[in-house]
């Protein structure tokens, strides 16, 4: 074998595949613990505006572990009346979870061992390649009367995963 054939055997013939997901966040619903003994007890919050729900961050992006940092601005919601139904719709169309950005990639190569009948396939896969963290609410952080209201410190996506496989065909 010449040097070019050896280089081609190791560097040539790789297959690459990728799946990328980029989507805006899904709408967020806000709840309340104020209920009534009719209609299964549920109630919607009372609001004065659909603007200003996202908290002001201490930097250019939300740091969920900075002291006092919240994803939802608690001051955007007035005191909740206990004697009437709330006026909020199911979702605020302009208030959403953070966007979902995810890249998955795979590479593979076939190596002939003995002719065409016996060969090996080497494959490597990376899921969430850039390890982008997507934060979500702490337990009941979307309920107005909860002490955790607006705190976004749970990771709601899977951290980066890498796997390598070698498969023998005979």
Q: State the pLDDT at residue 111.
A: 85
pTM listed for this prediction: 0.70
Give residue 162's pLDDT: 97
Q: What is the pLDDT of residue 60?
A: 56
Spatial distance between the Cα atoms of 164 and 170, rounded to a whole number of angstroms: 20
Q: List, run by run, the mean pLDDT of 10-residue segments along the chain (170 residues).
A: 69 90 89 78 84 74 74 88 87 86 94 82 95 88 89 89 94
Q: What's residue 21's pLDDT?
A: 93
Alpha-carbon span 139 to 34, nearest angstrom: 18
pLDDT of residue 65: 77
At 33, list the tokens.
């613990």
Q: What per-residue confidence (pLDDT) applies to 15? A: 94
* pLDDT of amino acid 41: 66
Residue with tokens 């966040």: 25
Give the pLDDT confidence score for residue 166 in this predicted structure.
95
Buried b (16+ CB within 10 A) or exposed e, 28-66: bebbbebeeeeeeeebbbbbeeeeebbbeeeeeebebee
User: What was the pLDDT predicted at 19?
Assistant: 96
């Amino acid at each position: 074998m010449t040097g070019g054939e050896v280089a081609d055997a190791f560097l040539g013939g790789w297959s690459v595949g990728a799946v990328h997901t980029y989507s805006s966040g899904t709408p967020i619903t806000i709840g309340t613990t104020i209920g009534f003994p009719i209609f299964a007890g549920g109630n919607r919050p009372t609001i004065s505006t659909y603007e200003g729900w996202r908290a002001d961050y201490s930097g250019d992006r939300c740091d969920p572990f900075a002291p006092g940092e919240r994803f939802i601005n608690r001051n955007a919601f007035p005191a909740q009346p206990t004697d009437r139904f709330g006026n909020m719709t199911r979702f605020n169309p302009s208030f959403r979870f953070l966007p979902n950005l995810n890249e998955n990639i795979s590479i593979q190569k076939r190596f002939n061992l003995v002719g065409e009948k016996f060969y090996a396939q080497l494959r490597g896969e990376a899921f969430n390649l850039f390890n982008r963290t997507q934060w979500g609410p702490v337990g009941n952080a979307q309920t107005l009367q909860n002490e955790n209201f607006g705190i976004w410190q749970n990771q709601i996506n899977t951290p980066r995963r890498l796997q390598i496989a070698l498969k023998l065909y005979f």
